[in-house]
Amino acid sequence: MERSIHQFTVKNLAGKDVPLEKYKGKALLIVNTASKCGYTPQYAQLEKLREKYKDKGFEILGFPSNDFGGQEPLEGEAIQEFCEVNYGVTFPVFEKVHVKGSKVAPLFKFLSDKKLNGEVSSVPKWNFHKYLIDKEGRVVDFFYTITNPDAPRLSRAIEKLL
């Protein structure tokens, strides 16, 4: 069984397939996001984090989810516009997905289940839960919502992968 996110294909906000193997060789932070959440300002911090490390082989992938309190009412291009206009987001934001429960997206089922990914068991408990992925596509760590993207421990974990 492959223990890499590179086995998955997701959809972008325009509904087009994006194979995650496209990100082979990059360290990633995968985040479930929402536009109407108290943590939504983390978008700006995530963008700064991306800017800090992008030239060293780092990328952030955002996955909007409406699983927590209906805090992602937007759809498709409206999500992208919200992220760009309000927070200057340039990292890829994908189609809205379920990150927990019976309808969980295959990628998030993999990210949250140690039996599948071999490293961590952590189902998102709220928006802006973060999974750190190494350059081979393996899940290496996770960070709860309350860990701000500018937290030194998150930067240290990223730097170990670059």
| Furthest CA-CA distance within the chain | 41
Angle, vertex CA 24, rays to CA 140 and CA 57, nearest 5: 80
Each of the 162 residues of the chain gets a pLDDT tens digit; together they read: 689 999 999 999 999 999 999 999 999 999 999 999 999 999 999 999 999 999 999 999 999 999 999 999 999 999 999 999 999 999 999 999 999 999 999 999 999 999 999 999 999 999 999 999 999 999 999 999 999 999 999 999 999 999
Q: What is the pLDDT of residue 127?
A: 98
- In a 10 Å sphere around its CB, with 0-12 CB exposed, 13-18 middle and 19+ buried, how is residue 57 labelled? middle
User: Count of H helices and E strands in the chain?
Assistant: 5, 6
Q: Which class does domain 5-161 fall in?
A: alpha beta
* Domain segments of the chain as ranges: 5-161
Question: Catalytic residue positions?
Answer: 37
* pLDDT the model gives residue 1: 63
Give the span between the Cα atoms of 31 and 126, in whole angstroms. Answer: 11
